[in-house]
Amino acid sequence: MVIKVLVVDDSPAEIRLLQSVLQQGGFQSIAISDPTKIEEAIDEERPNVILLDVVMPRRNGFQACRDLKNEDRYSKIPVILVTSKTTPSDRFWGEQQGANAYVSKPFTPEELISTVKRFA
């Protein structure tokens, strides 16, 4: 079975890096840079896992995660926050929004792949 991962990040360089690592791990990925279009992308692509940046314009990752977890049709999709916000309070806040895991930037390819595999 092919595992499909939705990557949401406003940085094209980060998207390329994440997609490259996911490909090495044997995952299929789809990427969007506009966090206001997450639900639309989920409806079209039906991802198994979502990698979500936190610091983005118009809708940050904490807001997006909370919105997804509060919506029945999206709440079961695992959300992994991938972010440079690494303080204990950031992690705690991410958990409070419903994030299933938290990967700090910079990350190792092994760390990202093993985290995705836990939820795939």
Instruction: Give tens-digit pLDDT for 59-83.
Output: 999 999 999 999 999 999 999 999 9
Instruction: Give tens-digit pLDDT for 18-31.
Output: 999 999 999 999 99
DSSP string, 79-102: EEEEES--SHHHHHHHHHTT-SEE
Q: CB of 11 within 8 A of CB of 35?
A: no
Which residues lie closer than 8 Å to 11 by C-beta, 6 or more apart? Answer: 33, 53
- Antiparallel, parallel or unpaired: β 4-8 and 101-104: unpaired
Closest alpha carbon to 5 in 17, 99, 18: 18
pTM of this structure: 0.97
Q: CB of 112 within 8 A of CB of 82?
A: yes
The CATH fold of domain 4-108: Rossmann fold (3.40.50)
For the chain, the domains span 4-108
